[in-house]
Amino acid sequence: MTATETPAASLAHYDFHRRPEDFVHWQLDVDGPIATLRMNVQEDRGLHDHYRLKLNSYDLGVDIELAAAYQHLRFEHPEVRCVVLTGNLDRVFCAGANIVMLRTSPHAFKVNFCKYTNETRLYIEDASDHSGLKTLAALNGTASGGGYELALAADRILLVDDRNSAVSLPELPLLGVLPGTGGLTRVVDKRMVRRDLADVFCTIAEGIKGKRAAKWDLVDGVAPLSKWDDAVSEAAKELVAASETPTGAEGVRLEPVAPRFDEEGIHYDLVDVAIDGAARTAAITLQLPDDVGPKSAADARAQGSGWWFFKLFRELDDALLHLRLEYLDIGTITLRVVGDPAVVTAVDALLADAADDWFVREVRLFVKRVLKRVDLTARSVFAIADEGTAFAGTFLELALAADRIYLLNDPDQPVSMGVTAMNGGPFPMSNGLTRLQTRFLGDPSRVDEILGEAGVLDAERADELGLATVAPDGIDWEDDIRIALEERASFSPDALTGLEANLRFAGPETLETKIFGRLSAWQNWIFQRPNAVGKRGALQCYGTPNRPELDFTRT
C-alpha cells in the first residue's frame, strides 16, 4: 500500500513538537544566558528498529528534537544568548546521518529527510541573525558528514586537539553522494574556504585534524583536552557579549500541537487537511476566528502559544511536515483561508506596531519560517480565493507562495483580497526578496502600486493588479478548478518538482537557494543513480565487505 492508501489509523505519525523533558537524544541545560545542548543519541531508540544509531549518528527523530530545542529556547528562554552545542560521547561529536537508515529508506524519504535537516540548520542561523541566539559548536570529538554540517550552521566552531578528532565530509569517497544538508555550500560560501582546499577536504574520508583544520578555516580554533573546558567557556562568553538580545524578558510556554488523524485527513483546531487519495490532492483550509484577539503585545504574550495567529501557523507547519513525510502520493495542495479580512488587517497592525516586542518578533520570525516551508514543499500549490475567503496581508503571502492563484471574479459572489505592511518585507523568501518582488521581478513598479493600495481589494481590482493567475466568473469556476487539478495529476511528479523549484525562486541566488535549489536538486538526482544506490553502489556497499562498482562515464 502507498501512504495515502494506508488507513490513517495504521500510519506511524511523527511527533514534531517534543518538549525537552521528553527528549531521547539530546540533553538541554539552561544556565542564565548560556544553554548547553548535548548530543547523547540512544542507539536503540531510532524511529525504526532495523538500524542502530551508533556514534551519535542521527535519524529524523534526532533532528526533530534538535529543531524543537531551538524552538523551545527562542520562546521559553528568551534570556539565552548562546547555545553550546556539544557531544556526550568520548572522542565523538557526531558521525552524521545514519547510513543504514539512509540506505534502507525510500527515495522520497531520503530527500525529505535532507530537506528537513536543511531547514533546521537554517533555523539555527536565523536564530543568530534575528534573535541574537548565537551557537558555539564545541566539537569534543570527531564531527563527520552531517555532524560537521551541523557544526557549520553555528557561529563559531571549536575543535578539541587530541591528535584523534577531525572534521570531515566523507560522503563522496565513502558513499557516492554529497553532503546533503548544505555542507559544500557552507564550506565555500559561509566559511569561505579556498576552493582547492575544499576540494582536497571533501575527498579525504578521514578528514582534517587540529591546527590544520583551523589553518584551512574549517574550524575557528582548537584547544587541547587540558584546556578544553576553559576554552569552551571563554568562547561562549564572547558570543554572549556579541549578542544584542535584550535581557529581562519572560518566556512563554509552547503547548503541544495536537493533530487528529482519520481516513478523511488531518484535523486541528484552526487548520483542516482533507485528503483525497484517489485524486492525489490535499485541501488545506485555514479558519480565521471571528474575534480579532489581542490588541497589544502584552495581551499576545499573555495568551502565548494560545494566541490564535501563532497557533494557526504552528498547526499549518505541522500539517506541511506530515504531508511531506507521510502522504507521499499527494501531488497537489489547495489552500483556502476562510474568514473576515478585517481580522487579518487588525492582527497585521499589531505585528507591525509591536515589532520591537520580543514575543511578537519571534512569532513573526516563526511565520516567516512556515511561509518558507510552503515555498520549499515539493507539492504543487494552488490558492483558491472564492466567496468567504480572506487572502489578506500575512495570509496573502500564502497565496503568493502558491504556484497559481485562482480568484473568483463574480459580482454575485463577492471575494476580497487585501494588502498590509506585512507584504512589504517582514517575510522574505529564500532569495532575499519578498513574494511580491519575486512575482513582479520584471516590473518592480507593480510592487509599489500594490503596496500603495493597502487595505481590502475587491476581486476585479485584485485581478487588475496582477494578484490572480486565473479569474473566472461563477459559471466557469468549478470546471476551471477541476480541470486544473486533473491536469496537474496527469503530469510526472518528478518533472513537476523540478519545474516548481526552478520557477519559485526567480532573482538573486543566496546561500539558501543554493542549498535547496542546486545542492538538494543534485542530491535528489545522485540518490537515484546506480553509483550510489545500485546493488553494488557506494551507499549500498558501505559497511559491508563489498567494494562499490562504479560506472565511470561522465555526464
3-state helix, strand, coil in the chain (%, to 5): 45, 20, 35
In this structure, what C-alpha cell is assigned to residue 247? 535581557
The pLDDT tens digits of the residues spanning 321-376 come to 999 999 999 999 999 999 999 999 999 999 999 999 999 999 999 999 999 999 99
Query: Which residue segments constitute the domains of the chain, with CATH numbers given?
Result: 18-242 (3.90.226.10), 260-491 (3.90.226.10)
Q: What pLDDT, on the 0 to 100 scale, is given for residue 520?
A: 72
Q: pTM value? A: 0.95
Residues 162-170, mean pLDDT to the nearest whole number? 95
pLDDT of residue 525: 82
Instruction: Give the C-alpha separation, 248 to 381, whole Å.
Output: 42
- Which residue bears the cell 528537513? 116
Instruction: State the DSSP string of 48-73.
Output: SSS---GGGEE-HHHHHHHHHHHHHH
How many degrees, rounded to 5, is the angle at CA 111 between CA 108 and CA 117? 135
How confident is the model at residue 269, as a pLDDT? Answer: 98
Who's near 493: CB < 8 A, 6+ residues apart?
331
Starting at the edge strand found earlier in the chain, the sheet holding 166-168 runs 91-94, 141-144, 166-168, 208-209
Average pLDDT of span 407-429 = 96
Alpha carbon separation from 112 to 47, 123, 498, 520 (Å, rounded): 15, 16, 15, 10
Task: Give me the pLDDT at residue 142, please.
Answer: 97
The predicted pLDDT at position 1 comes to: 33
In eight-state DSSP terms, residue 248 is -
The answer, yes or no, to whether residue 232 has pLDDT greater than 60, is yes
Examine the pLDDT at 554 and tell me if it is beyond 90. Answer: no
pLDDT of residue 248: 78
Whether 246 has a pLDDT exceeding 90, the answer reads no
Q: Locate 431 and state its grid cell.
A: 532569495
Confidence of residue 108 (pLDDT cuts 50, 70, 90): confident
9: pLDDT confidence band, cut at 50, 70 and 90? very low
Nearest to 64 by CA among 361, 322, 371, 236: 322
Res 62: pLDDT: 97
Task: Looking at 163-255, list the stretches that DSSP marks H as alpha helix, in order from N- to C-terminal side.
Answer: 183-185, 195-201, 210-215, 228-242
Q: Using N-to-C axis directions, what is the helix angle for 60-76 and 107-131, rounded to 10°? A: 20
- Quick one: average pLDDT of 127-139? 97
Location of C-alpha cell 550552521: 153
User: In this predicted model, what pLDDT tens digit does every residue of 446-476 receive, in sequence order?
Assistant: 999 999 999 999 999 999 999 999 999 999 9
| pLDDT tens-digit series, residues 63-90 | 999 999 999 999 999 999 999 999 999 9
522 φψ region: left (φ > 0), alpha (ψ -120 to 50), beta (else): alpha
Buried b (16+ CB within 10 A) or exposed e, 32-46: ebbbbbbbebeeeeb
- Mean pLDDT, residues 463-490: 96
What is the spatial distance between Cα 131 and Cα 153, in angstroms, rounded to a whole number?
15
Local structure of residue 426 (DSSP, 8 states): S
Q: Where are the beta strands (DSSP E) in 68-132?
A: 82-87, 91-94, 96-97
Tell me the average pLDDT across 97-113.
Answer: 91
Lookup: cell for 348: 497585521
How far from 63 is each of 220, 308, 388, CA to CA, in Å?
24, 27, 39
Least confident of 213-217, 383-387, 546-550: 546-550
- Is the pLDDT at 12 greater than 80? The verdict is no
Q: What is the mean pLDDT of residues 294-320?
A: 97
Residues 138-149 have pLDDT tens digits of: 999 999 999 999
Region 205-213: what's the mean pLDDT? 96
pLDDT tops 80 at residue 519? no
Percentage with pLDDT > 90 across the chain: 86
Q: Is the pLDDT of residue 259 over 80?
A: yes
- Choose the weakest-confidence range: 42-56, 147-161, 246-260, 457-471: 246-260
φ, ψ (nearest 5 deg) of residue 66: -60, -45
